[in-house]
Amino acid sequence: MSTTGSENTMSEGRLATPLRGETPGLLQGMRHVFARDLRVVLRRRADATAALMFFIIVVSLFPLGVGPEPQLLRTMAAGVVWVAALLASMLSLTRLFTDDHHDGTLEQLLLAATPLPLLVLAKMAVHWLTSGLLLALISPLLALQFDLSPRATAVLVGSLVLGTPLLSLIGGIGAALTVGVRGAGVLLSLLVLPLVVPVLIFGAGAVAASEGGFGFSAHFSLLGAMLVLALFLAPLATAAALRIAME
């Protein structure tokens, strides 16, 4: 905004100068979104709790349905927990942007002083803290039902901590694409679940590899690499999708 010519009046000079004479920090905008979203989730705990209960129930149904065969349960534990985690995080993903869309705060995000990808990243961080992280923390309890060894349980928790942020990041792209669409829930799952197949394979695979004596570091490295890539790309893609959806 420096190209105001010499013929400009005083009032136009004022228009061109920011009042506080400083550009707002990028982190400040992120902090506002983060704090606001976290407050909203904490005051409406029903949604986060519902996803967590869904996760617990789905995982618990398997031992009941399959029967008390310890070897079989140990083999399938990681896969069951991971699939349940995928489905549970889909439940809360639909709300990532639709609530904001309905109450008008999404438009304000697009008009914020902070670049949209950073704000989107803050929203995804809240989503992960209130869904993926909770699932990872509760999973050792559920692993007991499958007679998993302490070592395998630790690997499972580690893979969930590394892998569930990917669900929030990749899921965010899908949530942005389906903003304002009727029946977005099913569409979102159809869009996102195929994309997170690699996360499922390497997440559940880490436990199997560790139990098979191969070591899990390769799986964790791949999950970490995917996470770094998604941390960079997913907010950009989500922001672009939101701009298109809001036009």
Does position 79 interact with another protein (CB under 8 A)? The reply is no
Nearest approach, Cβ of 30 to another protein (angstroms)?
Answer: 10
Does position 50 interact with another protein (CB under 8 A)? The reply is no
Tokens describing residue 42: 């904490």
Q: Which residues contact 223 (CB under 8 A, 6 or more apart)?
A: 159, 162, 163, 166, 199, 202, 203, 206
Of the candidate residues 29, 132, 165, 203, the single one contacting another protein (CB under 8 A): 29
Of the candidate residues 59, 85, 96, 109, the single one contacting another protein (CB under 8 A): 109
Does position 114 interact with another protein (CB under 8 A)? The reply is yes
Does position 7 interact with another protein (CB under 8 A)? The reply is yes
CB closer to another protein out of 34 and 55: 34
Does position 113 interact with another protein (CB under 8 A)? The reply is yes
Nearest approach, Cβ of 176 to another protein (angstroms)?
Answer: 15
Is residue 160 within 8 Å of residue 136, measured between CB atoms?
A: yes
Write the burial class of residue 58 (CB in 10 Å: 0-12 exposed, 13-18 middle, 19+ buried). Answer: middle
Nearest approach, Cβ of 200 to another protein (angstroms)?
Answer: 33
Does position 8 interact with another protein (CB under 8 A)? The reply is yes
x/- binding map, residues 152-181, to another protein, per CB under 8 A?
------------------------------
Does position 108 interact with another protein (CB under 8 A)? The reply is yes
Q: Which residues contact 198 (CB under 8 A, 6 or more apart)?
A: 226
Is residue 98 within 8 Å of residue 179, measured between CB atoms?
A: yes
Q: Where are the alpha helices (DSSP H) in the chain?
A: 10-16, 26-43, 45-66, 70-93, 95-103, 105-110, 116-130, 132-143, 150-177, 184-195, 197-211, 217-246
Does position 28 interact with another protein (CB under 8 A)? The reply is yes
Query: Quick check: helix, strand or coil at residue 144?
Result: helix
CB closer to another protein out of 102 and 151: 102
> What values do phi and psi take at 104, rounded to 5?
90, -5
Enumerate residues 218-247 that contact another protein by CB under 8 A: 246-247
Is residue 33 within 8 Å of residue 123, measured between CB atoms?
A: yes
Does position 83 interact with another protein (CB under 8 A)? The reply is no
Chain residues that interact with another protein, rule: CB under 8 A: 1, 3-5, 7-12, 14-16, 18-20, 23-24, 28-29, 31-33, 35-36, 39-40, 43-44, 102-105, 107-115, 119, 246-247
